[in-house]
Amino acid sequence: MLLRRTVVPGLLLLCALPVLAARVCAQSPGGPATGLAALQKQHAGLRAGYVADLEKLVEYCLERGLDGGVAAIQPYLAEPETTTLRAVTLPTAVEPDIPTGLPADEHYWRTQLRNRRKEYAQKIYLLSRRVLRSNYPGYAYELVRETALHDPDHRAARELLGYVQFGKEWVTPYAREMLRNDHVWHADFGWLPKSHVARYEKGERNVNGVWMSAEKEAEVRRDFARGWEIRTDHYLIKTNYSLERGVELGRALEDFYSFFHETFAGFFNDPEQLQRIFNGTAPAVSKSVRPYHVNYYRTREEYVQRLEKKFPAIQKTNGIYLTGDLTAHFYYDPAGNQEATLFHEATHQLFFESHPMDRPIGQTANFWIIEGIACYMESFRRSADGYTVGDPRYIRFAGARVNYLDQKYYVPMQEFAAMGMQSFQAAPMLAKNYTQAAGLAQFFMQYDNGRYRDALVSHLAQLYSANARKRESAQGLDELTGVDYIELDREYGEFLRQMQQAVDAARKDSSTSRE
């Protein structure tokens, strides 16, 4: 099956590779909202008690002029962002012991802060187990990450998030093996034998055991067949642009992979498998037979030349994922938003390669979410302190609000869901439908604190299933959410108005602060 990712609306090409089989249990009608709300209330109560304890500790520090204590406590009091999905970067180093010999006041606040953090983290972790038993895996993993945020050395949380302890560091299993083999990760050059680092930093390069200058290597690598190969935990990136750019792409894709697998945990694992993972009787990190393959070309011209025989319409694309060679293809484009394209195609790749078989997806119905969720994940953004997805200012979501609120363009969900791949792509208002698909994906991922998120993940798991009968009879989102399409249409409009109000308020605050 060949689909394509086009420059304006963004289509795809898909491929297959094994991860974990996806099986889902449908929520009973009316169940998800009530159950989730009760669990979120418990979460809010735990959070309120924790904040109250920390505020008392802040008062203690203020009374004694302990500015360092106030600064250390404040980050844990920050209210989480509500207009995006967010994950905070976790520290890699194991927390050191609190030094002995500190002044009594400083020792007290440090000890109290660490104790309160660990107590709260354990409560949140136990809540994550209850959330998982209620069949909300996405929310469960949010709580696991919150556990690790407040107690970075919580072993169970770290392992669930795919980390192992190696010495005084938290690393991935792949990184541990590389470190054991005397390799180190270099920010510019990726994994290198430790003995090569100094020579690389001086401008030398090792090509098949032969040392040469970086300039000479670049000449050799211009031929894509002899390009650089950058291996990361889950990806193999081949490029003839530069080693440094390949490493940048590897870091971006690994950040995306980590966030993606936590957010869509219920897609990659059935409920029983998730329970075993949380119980510690199954590995949290799957061992893929083969890494995900990505090719990155020096120029658009080379990208077109190499792929036009495989896909004659390649000129219309700015990134593509082909089933025939199990590879996502991109090219260096200094003027384009390359990360948006990268994450769009990575979404298709990660979902489709959850099974080792080629199969049609969304052929007869529900094709909108195949593209909609990829358009949604385009909004993934990385920063020094973490990752976000779903920013309402992103162009896709802003366009969805303009279509619905200003231009009054909207295809009702029941009609939208009835479209298969061919009817969706043949629609006269294709660009607007892609924009609506992005807006609806944002709605199902974020509305009312994620009320429908796990239902959407279940829907995707059925659509991508290796079982043809399950794919062809996939439950609709009305059935999985327990809410009929007419009400979902209404709630979508409500959600768009809320997002527009949030954007307007943020813009006003920004304007006021500048004045």
Q: Using 50, 70 and 90 to split pLDDT, how confident is the model at 80?
A: confident
Per DSSP, which regions of 177-291 are E strands? 183-186, 190-193, 204-207, 210-213, 228-231, 235-239
Model pLDDT, residue 385: 86
22 or 78: which leads in pLDDT? 78
Residues 244/190, Cβ–Cβ less than 8 Å: no
> For a pLDDT cut of 70, what percent of the chain falls above it?
91
Q: Which of 253-262, 269-278, 365-374 has the lowest mean pLDDT?
A: 269-278
CA distance 330 to 299: 9
Three-state secondary-structure class, residue 75 = helix
Q: Give tens-digit pLDDT for 221-257.
A: 999 999 999 999 999 999 999 999 999 999 999 999 9
Q: Which two tokens stand for residue 413?
A: 């969900």
| Mean pLDDT value of segment 140-152 | 95
Enumerate the β-bridge partners of residue 228.
239
Q: Which of 63-72, 156-165, 285-294, 470-479 has the lowest mean pLDDT?
A: 285-294
C-alpha angle 245/247/251, rounded to 5°? 115
The predicted model scores a pTM of 0.89
Q: Give tens-digit pLDDT for 97-124.
A: 999 999 999 999 999 999 999 999 999 9
CA distance 439 to 368: 11
Residues 460/470, Cβ–Cβ less than 8 Å: no
Q: Using 50, 70 and 90 to split pLDDT, how confident is the model at 200?
A: very high
Residue count (the chain): 515
User: What one-character DSSP code corresponds to residue 10?
Assistant: -
Model pLDDT, residue 322: 83
Domain segments of the chain as ranges: 31-165, 359-515
Q: In terms of DSSP bridges, do strands 204-207 and 164-166 run parallel, antiparallel, or are they unpaired?
A: unpaired
Q: Using 50, 70 and 90 to split pLDDT, how confident is the model at 8?
A: very low
Model pLDDT, residue 321: 87
Kindly tell me if the per-residue pLDDT of 10 is higher than 70: no
Mean pLDDT, rounded, of the chain:
90
Kindly tell me if the per-residue pLDDT of 509 is higher than 50: yes
Residues 212/290, Cβ–Cβ less than 8 Å: no
Alpha helices in 264-394 (DSSP H): 265-268, 271-279, 300-307, 338-352, 367-377
* Segment 483-486 long-range contacts (CB within 8 Å, at least 24 positions apart): 483/33, 483/452, 485/412, 485/413, 485/414, 485/417, 486/412, 486/414
Q: Give tens-digit pLDDT for 418-447.
A: 999 999 999 999 999 999 999 999 999 999
C-alpha angle 349/354/360, rounded to 5°? 75
Residues 346/253, Cβ–Cβ less than 8 Å: yes
Q: Give tens-digit pLDDT for 24-58.
A: 333 443 444 458 889 999 999 999 999 999 999 99
Nearby residues of 371 by Cβ (< 8 Å), 6 or more positions away: 9, 10, 11, 12, 424, 434, 437
